[in-house]
Chains A and B, each alone.
Chain A
Amino acid sequence: MSRRKNNVGTLFTPTVLAASVVFLLILFCTVCAGLLAPYDPEAIDLSSAFSGPSPEHLFGADNIGRDVLSRLLYGGRTSITNALLVVLVSVLGGVPLGLLCGYYGGWLDSLVMRVWDVILSIPALLFGFILVAMLGRGSAASVLALGIAYIPMISRLARNLTSVEKTKTYVTAAKSFGFSDARIIFRQILPNCTSTLFAELTVDIGYAIITLASLSYLGLGVQPPTSDWGMMLQEGLVNLRQMPFLVVAPGIAIVLTIVSLNIVSDGIQAYLDPEQRKLPSFRRYEKKKHK
């Protein structure tokens, strides 16, 4: 009987560690925007318009003198929260549907999956446009639109995982014990899919941040005075010549968030797979054990 924990090797390889630190830092700063931001992000102070970095404004101020650091923090909060909401919507819609399609197969599966093929052939952003056009612009509409746009991806993954799981003997065994289909799907199959789904969702949060930013950039997402990173990009672009930093700052924020999320997600997946996990060298392991 194997009572040993499979805890040799680490999730936190130097890269993953750095990425997690970066992401947690971003998360912490944006969540605590209210505490950390030196100014009200919407406070206009024309006297310091276009001022470069200074002790008063660490990252400078924009065309109408709003503090860039404060706007980055608050904007990040909006971006990340909305991205999480997008993923939540897509999970609530996509996972149950995917489980059902994968388990029952047949015409339901063919139909749903063909519809998803069509939707997935349209870029998520474009699909967002269409839905926003139907639902109206604004934060809630864009979150809902993207959430729906992501359903195909999530449900296809859930469906593929389920169609593999359902052929396994434990499902046959559950059937032979008279388990209902609902019980088999949600209490037997679903627990076997969660870790893969989770890794996928981490990446999706990153995508959602980009796409939401794009919608905001185009003026379809959050509406002023609320702001997110996409909105900041758009506003900065007008003043690109005077102060390129107004574009660079939110751009860097977006890239850092997404790259760090991707690295963390890959790291988790590699850690969960005993074949892929990064293990210490013999010498290092034995040295540590002797201590």
Chain B
Amino acid sequence: MNTLLKVSNLKVDFMTVRGIVHAVQGVDFSLNRGKTLGIVGESGCGKSVLVKSILRLHEEQKTRCSGNILFEGHNILDLSPREMLAIRGVRASMIFQDPMISLNPILKIGEQIAETFRARRSMTKGQAAEEALRLLKRVGITPAEERYHQYPFELSGGMLQRVVIAIAISLEPEILIADEATTALDMTVQKEILDLLKWLRKEKGMSLIVVTHDFGVVAEMCDSIAVMYAGKIMEYGSARQIFNDPCHPYTRALISSTPSGAKGGKLISIPGAPPELYEPQTGCAFYPRCSQAAERCRESLPAMHSASGNHVFRCERPQ
């Protein structure tokens, strides 16, 4: 067994000005070394919250987590803030949609990377600078020597995202989490960043978690896919299983609402909007938008069913 991360029955609640949001409602999955997991779903389905809790990035006072996040046998949720420091950014790191979240606007980009080496690897100034430059080259920033001395505002979005990736992988983490990291980028730049991530995975044996709403990105990158809706995983399986044989009506609707090919008839759309997660649900959360819903879907929570092997889905009326 080569399981790196095992999440079981994870629940995350937030206190907000509108009440308690039950953002993640009992999620289980595991991730093996060198593999890529895609988490897909509409905005507000809890996918971002889920991955942020792996690094415990939530404001602790307003958050309540329960369940287990086992990272190499240690439960992340039980670690002290000090122990978290030895994991966050070192053994698991994260990149976001907006690269500026992770960058300091008034420091030269090279220095920001070098700083990580000096702080965490106790290198000398010279060593750190050398190492930072090497890393900039590795993530495809050209001309690296010149970029080293530039400030974040002087770089394009794609370049900044590369810098962020450089910082994220500087300490060679075992897991890299990309939270909609290519969503705001141009198509050609997105491709370059995805190619870079694939290369890192191959070269370093890094495990990836890719959070996205774009099935194209998932098809491009992932070994397995978790489809999330209203804080729960609705379907989980290998990428091939999900694309070839989607079992949950929600997965099917998501895949078929992506336009493909030339102008044609109407696209299949999902009516309505995802539910807000203030109240605990009594039935299937997708029930109000589901084309196959029946009375019992409203009344009881659907259980996880197995389609084949690892491929599971949470629906009582699959086709």
Q: Is A105 an interface residue (CB 8 A)?
A: no
Q: Verify A274–B17 contact, CB threshold 8 A.
A: yes
Write the nearest CB–CB distance from A223 to chain B, whole angstroms.
50
B162 CB to nearest chain A CB (Å) = 28
CA distance A1 to B288 in the complex (A): 14
Cα–Cα, bound, A2→B273 (Å)? 11
List, in ascending order, chain A residues with CB within 8 A of B13's CB.
282
Stretch at the interface among A3-11, A40-48, A248-256: A3-11
Complex: A5 Cα to B18 Cα, angstroms: 6
A244: Cβ under 8 A from any B Cβ: no
CB distance from B43 to the nearest CB of A (A): 13
Instruction: Decide yes or no: A6 and B17 within 8 Å by CB, A1-B273, A279-B62, A282-B64 being known contacts.
Output: yes
Taking a contact as CB atoms under 8 Å apart, the answer to whether A6 and B20 are in contact is no
Q: Decide if B20 touches A285 in the complex (CB within 8 Å).
A: yes
Q: Does A280 interact with chain B (Cβ within 8 Å)?
A: yes
Determine how close the nearest CB of chain B comes to the CB of A281; give it in whole angstroms.
8
Residues on A with C-beta less than 8 A from B16 are 6, 8, 274, 279
How distant is A285 from chain B, measured CB to nearest CB, in Å?
6
CA distance A5 to B64 in the complex (A): 22
With an 8 A cutoff between CB atoms, is A277 at the interface? yes
Could you say which of A2, A5, A282 contacts B20, with CB atoms under 8 Å apart? Answer: A282
Nearest CB to that of B59 among chain A residues?
A275
Chain A contacts of B15 at CB under 8 A? 8, 279-282, 285
Interface bits B20-40 vs A (CB < 8 Å: 1, else 0)? 100000000000000000000
Q: Which of A269-291 contact B (CB under 8 A)?
A: 274, 277, 279-282, 285-286
| Whole-angstrom distance between the Cβ of A7 and the nearest chain B Cβ | 8
> Which of B19, B276, B278: most chain A Cβ within 10 A?
B19
Residues of B within 8 A of A285 (CB): 15, 19-20
Please indicate the chain B residues that have their CB under 8 angstroms from the CB of A274 in the complex: 16-17
Please encode chain B, from 162 to 173, with 1 for each CB lying within 8 Å of some chain A CB and 0 for all others: 000000000000
Inter-subunit contact A4/B276 (CB<8 Å): yes
Question: How far, in whole Å, are A179 and B14 apart by their CA atoms in the complex?
Answer: 41
Give B residues with C-beta under 8 Å from A.
13, 15-20, 62, 64, 273, 276, 278
A-B contact pairs, 13 of them (CB 8 A): A2-B276, A5-B18, A6-B17, A7-B18, A8-B16, A8-B17, A8-B19, A280-B15, A281-B15, A282-B15, A282-B20, A282-B64, A285-B20
Closest 9 CB pairs of A and B: A6-B17, A4-B18, A274-B17, A279-B15, A6-B18, A282-B64, A8-B17, A8-B19, A277-B17
Contacts beyond the supplied A4-B278, A274-B17, A286-B20: 9 A-B pairs with Cβ under 8 Å = A6-B17, A7-B18, A8-B18, A8-B19, A277-B17, A279-B17, A280-B15, A282-B64, A285-B19
